Structures are given as structure tokens and as C-alpha cells.
A and B are shown apart, each in its own frame.
Chain A
Amino acid sequence: MIEDIAARFPYWATAVLMVIGLYGMIGKRNLVKKLIGMNIFQSAIILFFIAGSQRDGATLPILLVEDGHILTPVDPELYVNPLPHVLMLTAIVVSVAITGVALAFLVRIYREYQDLDEESLLKKVRQ
């Protein structure tokens, strides 16, 4: 059991982070905490992609050539898969955009109601 967790540590970490994030988004009443939960969830997924691209003993996927000699390995098995990293750059941009928009929403909500607690906000709004 413990070896199993240790062997697949990144995946367990992902799962734990995801659950924490989901709890934050759904269980917390404060809107800022919901947003933080969402960010944790996003990080978990980014971690998942990065962990999936990792290979033991592999190096950066950059081909170094000097004086016509290839210095880095030729075998593709010895390179880390670069595509997930690229995807995650996009995903990070998306998540920054979402966070930015959400924070702007929160600022407007707070200016209007001086409150960020979901339930008391609902009460104020219904009046």
C-alpha cells in the first residue's frame, strides 16, 4: 500500500489536491475561498499533466549540436515529453484569465454589498 503510494506519488498528490480544491469550491461559503479552491484544483490538473510527461532518467527535449556532432541522446525514449508542458502553459494562461475575471467580479460584488459570504449575500440580494 505504502510502496504503491510512493511509486505513484504525483498521482496521489494530484488526487488529494483535487479533492481539496473541490471541497473548497463547493463546501466553503466565502467566495474568495471558493476561488482559491478553484486555483488548487487547476494546479492539481497541471501537476497531473506534468507528472504524466515525466520519464525516469530522461532529459530536456532539446537537441544540442556542436561542430556537426550531436551532443544529446538520439533515442527519443531519453527525452521528456514536451507536449504536455506546452499544453499546460496554455492552461496556466486560461486559469490566470479565469482568476482575473473572478477577482474583478468579487471586487464589484464587495463594492456593492460589502460582503463576500455566500449565504448572507443571498439574503441581501433577495431583499
Chain B
Amino acid sequence: MLAALIAPVVTRLRYELGFIIALTGVGLSAIVSAWALFHVLDTGTMHYNLGGWAPPVGIEYVVDLISAFVAVIVTSVATLVIIGTRRWADREASDRLGSFYGLVMLLITGLVGMIVTGDLFNLFVFLEISSLAGYSLIFLGGGRAMLAGFRYLILGSIGGLFYMLGVGFLYFSTGTLNMAETQDLLTNDATARSVQAGAAFIFVGLGLKMAIVPLHLWLPDAYTFAPSSVNTLIAPIMTKVGAYAMIRMFLSVFPDGYLKDALPVADALLVLGLIGIIFGSVAAMSQKDIRRMLAYSSISQIALIAVGVGLGTPLGLVAALLHIMNHAVMKATLFMATASVRFSSGITQVSDFSGIGRRMPLTMGSFTLGAIAMVGIPPATGFFSKWYAVQAGIESSQWAVVVVVLASSLLTAVYLFRILESAYLHPLKLEPSHSHENPEEFGETEQKLTFEAAAREAPIDMVVPTVLLGVATVVLGVLNAVIVIHILEPGIA
């Protein structure tokens, strides 16, 4: 049953017809995970025993409402992004498209695997699969991306290894690796030192993958210098899956309230999240390169998810999960729009965006929708997750949460409206004001394009996914009550 979710992705690896195969693979898994979501809605949690071994012995895959929900987000966003960045991939990895799409498929396999697995050690394996693919994709950028990729590899491995060590502690205190069984067994001796050590190691490890604030150092460089086809794919979904794994620890590995009472993991997440929201936004305000700006904004949005998790209340978790979806869609919109602008004009600096809005109305329109959603103006999605976060903060009298979340909206508005202002209100510039920081990064085709001729709408197959994602931010915002009532609240209970 569930093998269907992973099989198309795995079996379609490594063929030379990269794009089509990757697209069918991801598209199929998006359809299958949507089907799985409806199936779970109807009949309850699905279990699949790998190799036919029953759960405590064998590895188990579990699809409940939450994992199906996150899987749908990840695969559908990935599908749109793969369509939209096809031209970038052709340009950036023209001589090794086969391996490029192979890596993309590995990345998505790893992420989907992390989402559906019900086994602690299996989670580690999938974590490393997706991370390795991620490092390699970033590395394809050449130049500074190579250094960023290597640094990400070192830090990411520390994260993965810390997680594995934590799993080791849990295993030796419970004797099982199955998530559900760990939860049952842990209630007996919740204060044992080894369990606490395990929880701490797992927290730090997943925190690194998720890029919570003191552990975020790999992220800005990796997102900025990665090829456009890669950062558009990685930015919306990769850290989200780390966040999902963290939520999974809270919901189905550690006993209820354990991470709050026995060890202040929840409080640590809360405080670091609050710092991260402010830090990310302020850092984003001062960036000149739009990709770097979006990377810092990712840090601040991830921190919002961490705050939701850290509050530990059901409402906080709803906020966190909803924000996983919202941020995936919003960031995909923004990165897609940025990639389209860069594709047709080579612009990456914020100051060069002036007048672009009139030349590329559809792309910048979607960018505007994404920006509105990020700031949290009502009908768009961002508003609702912030709303739930604030409510959860009021409910547990954490006033700092209320203040910081509201302030973050203002800060987000500052750095995003800066771009909208220059895109729509300033006249079109005919010359880029800065030379590109890294000329060899651009192919010859791009060098030949004059700036004026280039500043027009991107090709249709880039525009359509961008617009779809932009529209999705509003549609999902309108539909959010449905999602929260039918999927998230029963999923958490």
C-alpha cells in the first residue's frame, strides 16, 4: 500500500531521460500521497511493514494524518518547482542532467522516507540520504557554492551523528527503535539520565538540520550560492522536513509532556525560536542579494515553527504544522519568482529590481502574493499560522510570543516591501548597478543578453508554476479552516 508512495521515486532513479522521469516520479508520489491523505481521513492511520516483518522487529512505515499532510505538501511543491526550474537545470547542469535529476529524486525519496517512517534508525538513514543529495546538489553551483556545500556537509553530518547518538541512548534504555513502542516504554522511567541525554542529542541533531538559530550557520551560504534550480527546490522543503521530524519527536516518540517537564527542550526551542525570528528578520533587512535575504527570512520563519513546537500546546502544534505548509508554499513562490527574474535578466541584487514589476507582471504579481502571505495580511496563508501562534501564546500566557510574532510581521514587511517598492514604483533601470559578484557563474547565453531586452516575462513554463504557487498561497489561506479542523486537530489529538 505504502510502498506505492516510495516505489515510483526509487525505481525511477538514474535514467538519462532525467526531467520526464523525475517529473513523473514526483508527480506520481504527489498523487499517491494525496490519495494516502484521503485514505487516512476515511479509514485512519495506515501501517506498512517493510519486508513483511511485524513492527517491533521489522521497520514500520506509518502514515497518519500529519505525515500524509506533510508528504502532500512536500511532493506537490517539489513537482511544481521541478517543472518551473527545468530551464535552469538545462542551463546549469547541461552536461550532467541525468545525475542532476537522479540527485533530485534521491533528495525527495529521502524526505518522503523521513516523513513516513515509524522507526527511529530508519529516520536517520533517510535523513542522511536526503542530506547527501542536498550537499551534492548545492555543490553543483561551483565557486563559492562548493565551499558552502562542504561546510553544510560537515555541519549536517554533525547533526545527523548527534541524532544517531541520541537514538543510541534511547535504544539502550528501551530496547526498541519503533517510535510508538518507544513512547510506551519511556513512560516508565522518564527521568533516567540516559533518556535525558538521548533527548538532548536528538534535539541538537534535528535542530541543526532544521537551522534553528545558533545552528543556522550553514544555511545562508548554501541557499545563496546554490544553483537556482537547486535552492528553489531545497529552500521550501528541506528544513521543513527537519521541523516535521522534530514535531514527530514531540508527538509520537517521547511521552506526552516529557520534553517539557523532564528536560527543558520545549523551552529551549521557544527561546531560540523567539531569538531566531528577530535575528532572521533583522539580518534579512540588511541583505543586498535577494537570495541571501530570502535565506535569512527562512531562518526567521523556521524559528516561528520552532516557537509553535516549543509552546507545546495543541494550538501551538497546529500553528507549527500550518506554518510548515504555508512557508513551503510562500518560499517556493518567492524563490520561483526570484529564479524567473534572474533567468530572464540575470538580476540578483535587490537594488536592480526597480521597474521590473511592469516588465514581468505575472512573475512579480506572484512575488507580491508570496510577500503578502509572508507578512501575514489576511486572505493569504501566512496570516493564519501567525494567528494560531499568537493565540497559543495568549493561551499559555507567553506574552513574549505575542509581541515577537507581531513584531516579526512588521520586520518582514520592511524587507519584502523594499523589493515591491522598487519593482513597482521606481522606473526601469537599463543598466545593472552592480556587476555580478561572480561572473563565471553565468553561462555565455546570459552574457549575450542585453539588460533591456532581457527584462521581460520569463518563459511560460516558468511563469505558470510561479503563478500557481502564488495563487495557492491565497487559496490555502481561504481553505485553512478546513485543513485545521479536518486534518491537523484530529492529527494532533
Contacts and interface: CB of A to CB of B under 8 A. Distances in A.
Interface of A: 18, 22, 25, 31, 34-35, 38, 41-42, 45, 48-49, 52, 83-84, 87, 90-91, 94, 97-98, 101-102, 105-106, 108-109, 112, 121-122, 125-126
| Chain A contact residues: helix, strand, loop or mixed | helix
Nearest to B139: A105
Interface string B414-429: 0000000000000000
Nearest to B158: A25
Given A84-B171, A90-B125, A108-B139, A97 B132 contact: yes
Interface in B449-465: none
* Interface size range on B against A: 20 to 34
Interface stretch (B145-153, B253-261, B266-274): B145-153
Nearest to A22: B158
Contacts of A41: 157-158, 161
B164 A91 contact: yes
B154 A101 contact: no
B144 interface: yes
B121 A106 contact: no
Contacts of A91: 124, 164
Given A48-B168, A84-B171, A94 B128 contact: yes
Give the residue among A18, A52, A94, A109 with the most B Cβ atoms within 10 A.
Answer: A94
Contacts of A109: 146-147, 150
10 contacts: A38-B157, A42-B157, A45-B165, A91-B164, A97-B132, A98-B132, A98-B153, A102-B154, A109-B147, A112-B146
Q: Which 3 A/B pairs are nearest by Cβ-Cβ distance? A: A52-B172, A94-B128, A125-B144
A67 to B, nearest CB: 30
Nearest to B172: A52
Nearest to B142: A112
Contact of A106 (B128, B150, B177): B150
A38 B161 CA distance: 9
Nearest to A35: B154
A84 B161 CA distance: 15
A122 to B, nearest CB: 7
A42 B164 CA distance: 10
Interface string B151-191: 00110011011001100100110000100000000000000
A125 B147 contact: yes
Contact of B132 (A25, A42, A45, A101): A101
Nearest to A39: B157
Given A101-B135, A125-B143, A45 B168 contact: yes
Contacts of A125: 143-144, 147
Nearest to A14: B165
Contacts of B136: 101
A90 B142 CA distance: 31
A31 B158 contact: no
Given A38-B161, A94-B125, A101-B153, 15 more contacts: A25-B154, A41-B161, A42-B161, A52-B171, A87-B121, A90-B121, A91-B164, A98-B128, A101-B132, A105-B135, A105-B153, A112-B142, A112-B143, A121-B147, A125-B147
B170 to A, nearest CB: 11
Interface string B105-149: 000000000000000010011001000100110010011101101
Contact of B164 (A25, A45, A101, A122): A45
A113 to B, nearest CB: 9
A5 B396 CA distance: 45
A101 to B, nearest CB: 6
A14 to B, nearest CB: 9
Contacts of B135: 101, 105
A52 B165 CA distance: 12
Nearest to A105: B150
B147 A122 contact: yes
Nearest to B146: A109
B128 A31 contact: no
Contacts of B157: 38, 41-42, 98
Give the residue among B124, B147, B158, B165 with the most A Cβ atoms within 10 A.
Answer: B147
Contacts of B149: 105
A1 to B, nearest CB: 18
B274 to A, nearest CB: 26
Nearest to A49: B168
Give the residue among A18, A35, A42, A105 with the most B Cβ atoms within 10 A.
Answer: A105
Contacts of A94: 124-125, 128, 160
Contacts of B168: 45, 48-49, 52, 84
A12 B165 CA distance: 14
A84 B171 CA distance: 9
Contact of A48 (B132, B139, B165): B165
B379 to A, nearest CB: 43
A31 B147 CA distance: 10
A38 B154 contact: yes
